[in-house]
Amino acid sequence: MPDETKGPPAGGLPETPSKPEGAASGTPAQPPAEAAKPAAPLKPAAPAAPAAKPAAPAAKPAVKPEPWVNPLVDELEKRFPGGTGNAVIFRNQPSIVVVKDSLLAVCEFLKSEEGGAYTLLTDETAVDYPKREKRFEIIYQLYSFKQNHRLRLKVLAGDGESVPSACGLWPTANWLEREVFDMFGIQYEGHPNLKRILLPEDWVGYPLRKDYDILRQDDAWVQANLNISSGQ
């Protein structure tokens, strides 16, 4: 009898390989797991919508002069009937129009203690309104150290009219009136030395009058003395 403990006879079928330990009976072997795929790149975030522009601020209402009600105005009208008028206040700056024949008397009173002690003339200048009958406004800026107040006076004058000089009341008027004469051609009656202060004596014309372009001044003087054309 053959020995059953020995393997199959030569030339027989090979032995069936044993299943892996722990494998379930009848379950096919699983293929190896695939390598993990790389994560898809993140899409860039959409750009943020532009911020809405802030609404434009509402336009401020125009500031207009208002009547200036003040005991000083009443006192001036009482002392100089018809010599002052059109007292207004604009941006906290009071102003009064003074008739030129009353200018020195009004200024002398304003300089006194009773009139407010406006002892300093800080500026004197002019403005040209060529379409007006009285085309020039001569403007005086007064200051009171005692009250810390400012006051503006205006004198109206036509072309060729002279205005009383304030040099006798405020020494600062000397050079200021010379400048107004130089730039506007306004004559000051009683000025001690009324001559040009910025331009040469033989200059023709007055640069701040609105008669012609400011760049087209005394062509003959500029050509003769500077050897260039006016306006360069």
- pLDDT tens-digit map of 63-107: 889 999 999 999 999 999 999 999 999 999 999 999 999 999 999
Longest CA–CA span in the chain (Å) reads 167
**Cα separation of 141 and 125, whole Å?**
9
Scanning the structure block, which residue is given the tokens 């030395």? 193
Asked if the model's pLDDT at residue 121 lies above 70, the reply is yes
Q: What is the pLDDT of residues 31-55, one digit of tens each?
A: 555 555 666 667 777 777 777 788 8
Banded pLDDT at 30 (limits 50, 70, 90): low
Residue 110: count other Cβ atoms within 10 Å of its Cβ.
23
Tell whether 226 and 162 lie within a shared domain.
no
| Rounded distance between C-alpha atoms, residue 71 and residue 102, angstroms | 19
What is the pLDDT at residue 27? Answer: 53
d(CA 97, CA 140) in angstroms, rounded, equals 10
* 18 found inside a domain: no
Q: For residues 169 and 167, what is the distance between their CA atoms, to the nearest angstrom?
A: 5
Torsion of the alpha carbons at 111, 112, 114 and 120, rounded to the nearest 10: 40
**Encoding tokens for residue 57?**
């601020």
Residues pairing with 154 in the sheet: 97, 139
pLDDT at 33: 56
| DSSP tag of 36 | P
Strands (E), the chain: 66-67, 84-90, 93-98, 120-128, 136-144, 149-157, 162-164, 187-189
Length of the chain in terms of residues written: 232
Q: Which two tokens stand for residue 109?
A: 């009173």
Residue 173 CB contacts under 8 Å (≥ 6 apart), including other chains: 121, 124, 165, 166, 167
Residue 173 within a domain:
yes
- Together in a domain, 175 and 107: yes
DSSP secondary structure code for residue 163 in this structure:
E
Asked whether the beta carbons of 218 and 204 are under 8 A apart, the reply is yes
Handedness of CA 183, 185, 186, 187 (dihedral sign): positive
Does 212 map to a domain?
A: yes
Residue 49 lies in a domain: no
Same domain membership, residue 217 and residue 179:
no
Residue 13's pLDDT is what? 47
Q: Are residues 225 and 169 in the same domain?
A: no
Query: Which pLDDT value is given to residue 101?
Result: 95
* Domain identity same for 134 and 213: no
pTM of the model: 0.71
Residue 28 in any domain: the answer is no
pLDDT in tens, 168-181: 999 999 999 999 99
Does 81 fall in a domain? yes
CA distances 116 to 14, 70, 96, 155, Å, are: 136, 12, 14, 20
Quick: pLDDT tens for 202-232: 888 898 998 877 676 767 767 777 777 766 5
What are residue 120's DSSP bridge partners?
143
Report the domain count for the chain: 2
Residue 106 and residue 186 in one domain: yes
Average pLDDT, the chain: 84
Q: Which pLDDT score is estimated for 205?
A: 87
Q: Are residues 146 and 205 in the same domain?
A: no
The more confidently predicted of residues 210 and 166 is 166
Q: Which residue range is the domain that position 148 belongs to?
A: 66-198
Shared domain check, 229 and 123: no
